[in-house]
Amino acid sequence: MRNDKDRYWDCLDQAMDASHRGRMDEALAWLDEALRAYPAGAEAHNGRGEILWDEGRIDEAAHEFERAAQADPKFVAAHLNRIELMIEELGAFESALRLCDDLLSGRPEFPRPETTVQAEIYYLKSKALFYVDDLEGAIFLVRRANKTAGMQPVYAAFEGQILFELGRYEEAHRVLEQTAMVDPDSAHVFYYLGLVLERLEDEAAGEAFARANALDPHHYPIPLEVSAEEFENAVAIALDNLPRSIREYIADVPVLVEEWPSREMITTENISPQILGLFVGSPRTEASPTSQAQDLDRVMLFIRNHAKICRDQEELIEQIQITVRHEIGHYLGLDEEDMDRLGLA
């Protein structure tokens, strides 16, 4: 009579076959059967986590990846899945960074990563650093990932994205252009190439955006064409829609319209080139009740960044209203919770 471990591996094979054929419910059933045969099966828990993640059942997936890592601390796939889920879905960036450091520590209780796995850990740690605004740390690690594994399009594309966010457009252009030649089917690469070319005032930006849209129209719509006059009219509508009490507070605060943030603004204000709006100056909470708005107080809105995320004029007006309200909230010294409560988020 075959032992339970044999039954476990047979069920895993059946689950893999069902998964490849797109029969996910059947795959989950086989994985459940595998775990009945061998409850400590890390592979089965990890497989359940991957399917549940694909189905959007994030908390359940996280639980399965954790159980897989506990069942076999040297099962590297479970660790990598757990870290990626923390970064992409849960926003648990600090926890992800700690797990990356654990895997790179060389401690005997963790797997000793092969070269390709080590590169993936560097890449995941780079992404976590990116999301906590440590862009210099992120660029260092993604380059280390590429050096470790050889040129990988995914890593190179992320390097180009980080360089763009740092306002280092010429470097980003070189990296993304090379990556586009290696991976001509990546909508993400062509979209960021379009962003970079746009900032470099290169007419090829439109072609890059069109290519990204052709590859993935849902995530990368063609940027909306909007003139400065149309945008300013939408801003006026947004201001008119503010509550009267707030309009009185900001009567002396100019709302300025620019194409996009300057490089100097990106570095001095530590902001993303893709930011929609920005309040510059001193919040009202730091001024005396009778003081007037200072000459430097202003709200800035960026036309091209709004145009990237709106599909039509109606969406554009709605988004401008949201941005104006949000930046005015910063001027009034409100935090995110206050702005949610007052309808300014």
What pLDDT is attached to residue 246? 74
What span, in angstroms and rounded, lies between the C-alpha atoms of 76 and 46? 10
Per-residue confidence (pLDDT) for residue 1, from 0 to 100: 37
* Helices and strands per DSSP (H, E), number in the chain: 18, 3
pLDDT of residue 23: 96
In this prediction, residue 342 carries a pLDDT of 61
Tokens 């797109």 locate to 22
Write the CB contacts of 51 (distance below 8 Å, at least 6 apart in sequence): 19, 24, 27, 28, 31
Burial pattern 128-148, b for ≥16 Cβ within 10 A else e, equals bbbeeebbebbbebbbbbbeb
Angle at which helix 76-85 crosses helix 42-54, to 10 degrees, equals: 30
- CATH numbers and ranges of domains, the chain: 151-222 (1.25.40.10), 228-342 (3.30.2010.20)
Residue pair 61/85 in contact by the 8 Å Cβ criterion: yes
- DSSP letter at 73 equals T
Determine the Cα–Cα distance for residues 222 and 204; give it in Å rounded to an integer: 14
Q: What are phi and psi of 258, to 5 degrees?
A: -130, 160
Its pTM stands at 0.88
Alpha-carbon Rg of the chain, whole angstroms? 25
Dihedral angle, C-alpha 127, 129, 130, 132, nearest 10 °? 130
The residues of the chain scoring below 50 in pLDDT are 1-2, 290-293
CA 93 to chain centre: 12
Pairing of strands 277-280, 298-302: antiparallel
Q: Kindly write down the DSSP assignment for every residue of 267-331, as one continuous string.
A: HHTT--TT--EEEES--GGGS-TTPPPPTT-EEEEEHHHHHHH-SSHHHHHHHHHHHHHHHHHHH
Alpha-carbon separation of residue 319 from 239, 306, 345 (angstroms):
12, 7, 11
Tokens matching residue 280? 């510059």
Structure tokens at 264: 């100097």
